């Protein structure tokens, strides 16, 4: 095993044409699954491929659609995921796979035709254990376009490389990811006790084992975000709570950017308390003036949201801009409040309910 000057280990080499296994957890994705599967099966890669769908109990006809797709193409394999947990489904799909390279895909994602070929070339070139690219969020409605705009902005999701990074290099984590099976076997598969943020935790173990996690901006994946405000809140509050749980478990292994949304929540709460004390007359004089400094970061945040909402990108209509102004604080506050609860109480059995009991609108 070769070590570079920084002590990083090269991932084991894989023979050309050795084959690729795609793994996709699926729950209530009737409106997106067909297109996601088509982009996987249409990959321009000179190797045998298979797509393992881990099917959770859906209520919108997703399982029937998956069976129809599998009947039409022998490369599609179905495995059951009755617990409906993403890491459990991913692990079952990986174990059912046959090939030495694992490509994680999402039912809400679409791959460019050369995605796998480019990723395999990057893995071979830098000998990384995992490589990922850019999440390019898109939307059909004013609301979904606003969410996509927030995803694509460093203000929306904190500036992770895969939300718009331009420089290729080592990364903290990878969006979806193209992984070497041998490294997964060495460090272990996804932690089934972590229901959100399982990819970050796996990449932490990969990096601690000495391997590279690599960001390649030439790789691009289209992602379709949640279609309603309620589902967005459910998604981000669950994700925030699990990030709080990961902070409890791994402490300083977490990036400082994860603490920005909870800091906003705490600042707003402090501002409300100080405002009440000032209005009631319980806080006066010099102390009232000093305490008023808490409003400055809140004013700065409001200005930042307005600048992003009115700035370029996304839809040009007024509804798109208004939704952007609403979506950004929704994402930050739901995530931040979930984080605070997760740090204080842990995540326990928290699940992302934004996919439960829904029927997604089919793609045009």
pLDDT tens per residue, the chain (364 residues)? 555 545 679 999 999 889 999 999 999 999 999 999 999 999 999 999 999 999 999 999 999 999 999 999 999 999 999 998 999 999 999 999 999 999 999 999 999 999 999 999 999 999 999 999 999 999 888 899 999 989 888 887 755 555 555 789 999 999 999 999 999 999 999 999 999 999 999 999 999 999 999 999 999 999 989 889 999 999 999 999 999 999 999 987 777 888 999 999 999 999 999 999 999 999 888 888 999 999 999 999 999 999 988 887 655 678 888 999 999 999 999 999 999 999 999 998 888 888 775 544 444 4
d(CA 89, CA 93): 6
CA atoms in the 13 A half-sphere facing the CB of 96 = 22
**At CA 196, angle to CA 211 and CA 224, rounded to 5?**
95
* CATH class assigned to 20-227: alpha beta
* Residue from 50, 60, 63, 58 nearest 23 by CA: 50
Task: Count other C-beta atoms under 10 Å from residue 77's C-beta.
Answer: 18
Full-prediction pTM beyond 0.85?
yes
Strands 109-111, 101-104: parallel, antiparallel or unpaired by DSSP? unpaired
Under 8 Å between Cβ of 249 and 204: no
Under 8 Å between Cβ of 339 and 224: no
d(CA 248, CA 319): 40
Task: Count other C-beta atoms under 10 Å from residue 333's C-beta.
Answer: 19
Domain boundaries, the chain: 20-227, 249-347
Tokens of 304: 């930042």
d(CA 349, CA 38): 34
d(CA 336, CA 260): 8
**Alpha helix segments (H runs only) across 58-193:** 62-72, 86-96, 115-126, 142-152, 154-157, 181-187
């Amino acid at each position: 095993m070769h070590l570079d000057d920084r002590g990083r280990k090269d991932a084991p080499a894989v023979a050309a044409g050795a084959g690729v296994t795609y793994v996709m957890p699926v729950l209530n994705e009737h409106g997106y699954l067909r297109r996601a599967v088509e982009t996987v099966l249409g990959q321009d890669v000179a190797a045998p491929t298979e797509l393992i769908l881990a099917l959770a109990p859906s209520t919108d006809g997703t399982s029937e659609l998956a069976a129809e797709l599998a009947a039409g193409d022998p490369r599609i394999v179905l495995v059951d995921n009755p617990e409906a947990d993403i890491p459990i489904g991913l692990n079952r799909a990986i174990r059912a796979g046959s090939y030495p390279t694992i490509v994680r895909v999402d039912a809400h994602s679409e791959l460019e035709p050369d995605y796998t070929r480019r990723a395999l070339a990057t893995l071979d070139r830098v000998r990384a254990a995992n490589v990922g690219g850019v999440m390019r969020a898109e939307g059909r409605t004013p609301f979904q376009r606003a969410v996509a705009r927030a995803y694509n902005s460093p203000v929306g999701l904190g500036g992770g490389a895969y939300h718009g990074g331009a420089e290729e290099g080592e990364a903290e984590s990878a969006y979806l990811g193209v992984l070497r099976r041998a490294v997964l076997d060495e460090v272990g598969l996804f932690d089934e006790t972590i229901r959100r943020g399982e990819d970050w935790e796996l990449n932490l173990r990969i990096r601690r084992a000495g391997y590279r996690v690599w960001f390649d901006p030439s790789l691009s994946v289209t992602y379709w975000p949640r279609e309603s405000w309620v589902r967005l809140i459910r998604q981000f509050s669950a994700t925030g709570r699990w990030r709080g749980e990961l902070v409890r478990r791994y402490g300083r292994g977490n990036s400082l950017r994860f603490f920005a949304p909870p800091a906003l929540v705490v600042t707003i709460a402090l501002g409300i308390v100080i405002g009440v004390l000032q209005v009631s007359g319980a806080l006066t004089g010099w102390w009232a003036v000093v305490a008023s400094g808490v409003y400055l970061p809140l004013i700065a945040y409001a200005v930042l949201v307005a600048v992003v909402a009115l700035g370029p990108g996304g839809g040009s209509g007024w509804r798109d801009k208004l939704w952007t102004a609403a979506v950004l604080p929704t994402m930050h506050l739901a995530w931040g409040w979930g984080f605070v609860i997760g740090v204080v109480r842990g995540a326990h059995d928290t699940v992302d309910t934004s996919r439960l009991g829904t029927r997604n609108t089919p793609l045009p």
